[in-house]
């Protein structure tokens, strides 16, 4: 009898397990049930509210754009169900909870799509509708959360019942839809809208400084006394990375993906970014390690000076901090749609790397509902796949909607970078070295000719604030951050000293960004001379984000695995209270620098504190690599 009862219990438990599994399967299938249940009619449409860019209201309308003008690749944002949205958020939280059975159980893009994307039948119907409007469909994302398509002005106007106009604002011209787009009502349950229908690009978060000439044989820096730049060996000294290099932790076996609008190459104009990277690694004592360049669609080449410098900076410095990591740069053309969006989407949906860096920004208000929704969904997918996404917080202090180098005072209020403000990415802010009172204590007068190292030790850091209230030459250059207008406080963003404001606060971490001691960069063959090296100096959170990505490669090498949203780890290890300093730095009309914004910092994995824009930590408060990983 005992044996029979035990057998009955075993059978009952087995049946229960089968039933639960079956119910879960049914639930997963219900999430992917087709929601397009009626015929798609172009005559029966609904309006996608607030799909006109906010810039249009402030711009001069120059009239319609020629119907035949090609608009390049665009992204159609798809809409999972509300239940899928909730389930995805819970799933990602569980993946990052060490007590959960789902901890670090990363999904592939296809598996993410099966759980949290629209139904395959619906995706196929949307594709066929786009093609019926004369548009080319290049790809349905594996996540089934967006579709990549292209076409000309006439085709876009027909498909989305709008008009494309040319506009100008502050001597800058761009194309945009003049009216809110409309989509067939039958598609409204699975289509949110076009991610962007305007050509005003996301701004690279960088500041270009002077070119510094250094004698190769002696390491002598030509220029006024105290002139310095930061090379890889300096970074290793200041941020205490050298002990990890000595222990064989150098990024080997790790991959970092870089979001770009430039493929680094344009022979007709003498641009050979790959050779510049090789020259940089050669003169600074780094081992040879070429990046991989992926051109997504048409080759953007190097049409913009700033975009080329941005790509060079990101690739160079991710590889400078993690010398043996494999760097993959994805370049997408910004003919109309921003190549930043397309490159970021390509990296995540093709699962290229466990670490990625994006050094561009637009404030939440300018991005608008669709672009904000796109980046929230994309970084969520990245986190579910185990990708740690670093994003520059920006270079305009608290004035996130203003151009830091425009020559105008801030006029658009307090704002943050919407690409960096989601709960699923790491927002990287900026500091500057506090060394001006006694530079000889931190820098050698002459650099080491073997690697051009001149830093002597860790250098205290403070808020990056190089803004100016000069009425003739105003500027807003300062580390960005503040409070999101969209996102609530993530459950991981809690620690002593973090503002209890119920809102997502930026940045999460900060590193050197000031042009005061810019990051060294080779450009246009400036490091190829046998006698002298010409280092361009570059600052901005465009430098701190790829550097943080390089640090993450060292962490993952030590961990031997992906980490996803690393903010959860960093904040959980933060045990020292933050002492916040809140004040306005440059006055109400200028930078509104983020020294007065809600922000937090975290340490590097190399036992050296990172200071953020609103926090201070005693230099003796250190965390070891083993503590962080």
User: Going by DSSP bridges, is the β-strand pair 45-47/182-184 parallel, antiparallel, or unpaired?
Assistant: antiparallel
pLDDT in tens, 16-41: 443 334 334 434 444 568 999 999 99
| Homologous superfamily of domain range 204-628 | Peptidase S8/S53 domain (3.40.50.200)
pLDDT in the model for residue 31: 56
Confirm if 233 and 452 have CB atoms less than 8 A apart.
Answer: yes
Task: List C-alpha distances in Å: 581 to 76, 497, 498, 590.
Answer: 43, 10, 12, 19
Q: Looking at residues 198-220, what average pLDDT do you find?
A: 82
pLDDT in the model for residue 411: 83
Among residues 166, 284, 239, which one has the least CA distance to residue 606?
A: 239
Confirm if 368 and 194 have CB atoms less than 8 A apart.
Answer: no
Sequence-distant (6+) residues with CB within 8 A of 174 are 55, 59, 166, 167, 168, 198, 199, 200
Q: Which two tokens stand for residue 138?
A: 């290049």
Confirm if 425 and 376 have CB atoms less than 8 A apart.
Answer: no
Say yes or no to pLDDT of 8 above 50: no
Say yes or no to pLDDT of 505 above 90: yes
Task: Enumerate the domain spans of the chain.
Answer: 45-200, 204-628
Higher pLDDT, 21 or 281: 281
pLDDT in the model for residue 588: 26
**How high is the mean pLDDT of the chain?**
84
Among residues 116, 33, 111, which one has the least CA distance to residue 80?
A: 116
Among residues 334, 252, 256, 403, which one has the least CA distance to residue 74?
A: 334
Confirm if 350 and 343 have CB atoms less than 8 A apart.
Answer: no
E strands along 221-380, which residues? 221-222, 255-260, 265-266, 271-272, 292-296, 326-332, 355-358, 360-361
How many CB atoms are closer than 10 A to CB 375?
27
Say yes or no to pLDDT of 618 above 80: no
Confirm if 151 and 136 have CB atoms less than 8 A apart.
Answer: yes
pLDDT-based confidence at residue 337 (cuts at 50, 70, 90): low
Q: Which residues pair with 609 in a beta bridge?
A: 603
Calpha distance 195→105 (Å, rounded): 30
Q: Looking at residues 277-297, what average pLDDT do you find?
A: 96
Q: What is this structure's pTM? A: 0.88
pLDDT in the model for residue 469: 87
pLDDT in the model for residue 226: 76
Helix, strand or coil, per DSSP, at residue 476: coil
E strands along 443-497, which residues? 461-463, 482-488
pLDDT in tens, 385-413: 999 999 999 999 988 888 888 778 888 88
Q: Looking at residues 369-375, what average pLDDT do you find?
A: 95
pLDDT in the model for residue 621: 27
Q: Which residues pair with 360 in a beta bridge?
A: 204
Q: Looking at residues 82-89, what average pLDDT do you find?
A: 97
Calpha distance 228→455 (Å, rounded): 9
pLDDT in tens, 112-164: 999 999 999 999 999 999 999 999 999 999 999 999 999 999 999 999 999 99
Q: Looking at residues 83-106, what average pLDDT do you find?
A: 96
Diameter of the chain measured on Cα atoms: 96
Could you tell me what percentage of the chain is helix, strand and coil, using 3-state DSSP and rounding each to the nearest 5? 30, 25, 45
């Amino acid at each position: 009898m005992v044996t029979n009862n035990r057998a009955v219990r075993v059978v009952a438990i087995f049946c229960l397990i089968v039933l639960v599994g079956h119910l879960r399967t049914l639930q997963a299938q219900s999430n992917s049930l087709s929601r397009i249940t009626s015929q798609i009619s172009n005559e029966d449409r609904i309006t996608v509210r607030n799909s006109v860019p906010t810039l249009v209201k402030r711009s001069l309308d120059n009239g319609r754009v020629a119907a035949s003008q090609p608009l390049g690749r665009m992204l159609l944002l798809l809409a999972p169900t509300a239940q899928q949205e909730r389930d995805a958020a819970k799933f990602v939280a569980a993946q990052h909870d060490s007590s959960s059975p789902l901890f670090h159980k990363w999904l592939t893009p296809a598996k993410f799509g099966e759980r949290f994307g629209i139904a395959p039948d619906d995706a196929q119907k949307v594709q066929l509708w786009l093609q019926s409007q004369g548009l080319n469909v290049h790809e349905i994302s594996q996540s089934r959360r967006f579709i990549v398509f292209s076409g000309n002005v006439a085709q876009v106007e027909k498909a989305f019942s709008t008009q494309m106009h040319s506009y100008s604002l502050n001597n800058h011209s761009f194309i945009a839809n003049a009216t809110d787009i409309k989509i067939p009502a039958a598609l409204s349950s699975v289509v949110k809208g076009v991610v962007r229908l305007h050509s005003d690009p996301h701004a690279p978060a960088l500041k270009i400084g002077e070119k510094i000439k250094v004698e190769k044989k002696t390491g002598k820096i030509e220029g006024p006394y105290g002139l310095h730049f930061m090379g890889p060996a300096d970074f290793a000294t200041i941020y205490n990375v050298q002990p990890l290099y000595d222990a064989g932790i150098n990024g080997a076996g790790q991959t970092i993906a870089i979001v770009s609008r430039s493929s680094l190459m344009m022979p007709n104009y003498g641009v050979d970014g790959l050779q510049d990277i090789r020259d940089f690694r050669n003169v600074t004592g780094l081992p040879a390690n070429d990046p991989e360049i992926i051109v997504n669609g048409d080759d953007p080449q190097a049409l913009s000076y700033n975009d080329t410098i941005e790509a060079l900076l990101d690739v160079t410095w991710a590889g400078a901090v993690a010398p043996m990591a494999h760097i993959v740069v994805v370049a997408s053309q910004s003919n109309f749609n921003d190549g930043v969006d397309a490159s970021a989407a390509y990296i995540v949906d093709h699962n290229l790397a466990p670490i990625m860096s994006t050094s561009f920004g637009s404030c939440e208000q300018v991005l608008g509902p669709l672009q904000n929704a796109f980046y929230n969904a994309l970084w969520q997918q990245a986190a579910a796949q185990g990708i740690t996404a670093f994003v520059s917080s920006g270079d305009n202090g608290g004035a996130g909607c203003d151009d830091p180098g425009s020559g105008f005072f801030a006029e658009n209020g307090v704002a943050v970078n919407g690409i960096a403000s989601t709960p699923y990415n790491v927002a990287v802010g900026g500091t500057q070295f506090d060394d001006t009172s006694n530079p000889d204590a931190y820098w050698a007068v002459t650099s080491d000719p073997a690697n051009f190292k001149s830093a002597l030790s860790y250098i205290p850091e403070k808020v990056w604030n190089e803004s100016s209230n000069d009425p003739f030459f105003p500027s807003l250059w300062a580390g960005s951050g503040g409070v999101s207008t969209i996102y609530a406080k993530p459950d991981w963003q809690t620690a002593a000293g973090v503002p209890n404001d119920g809102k997502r606060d930026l940045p999460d971490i900060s590193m050197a960004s000031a042009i005061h001691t810019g990051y060294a960069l080779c450009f246009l063959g400036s490091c190829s001379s046998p006698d002298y090296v010409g280092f361009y100096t570059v600052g901005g959170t465009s430098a701190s984000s790829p550097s943080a990505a390089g640090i993450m490669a060292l962490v993952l090498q030590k961990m031997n695995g992906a980490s996803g949203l690393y903010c959860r780890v960093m904040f959980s290890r933060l045990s020292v209270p933050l002492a916040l300093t809140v004040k306005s730095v440059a006055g109400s009309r200028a930078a509104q620098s983020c020294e007065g914004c809600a922000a937090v910092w975290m340490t590097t994995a190399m036992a050296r504190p990172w200071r953020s824009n609103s926090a201070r930590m005693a230099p003796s408060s250190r965390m070891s690599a083993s503590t962080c990983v």
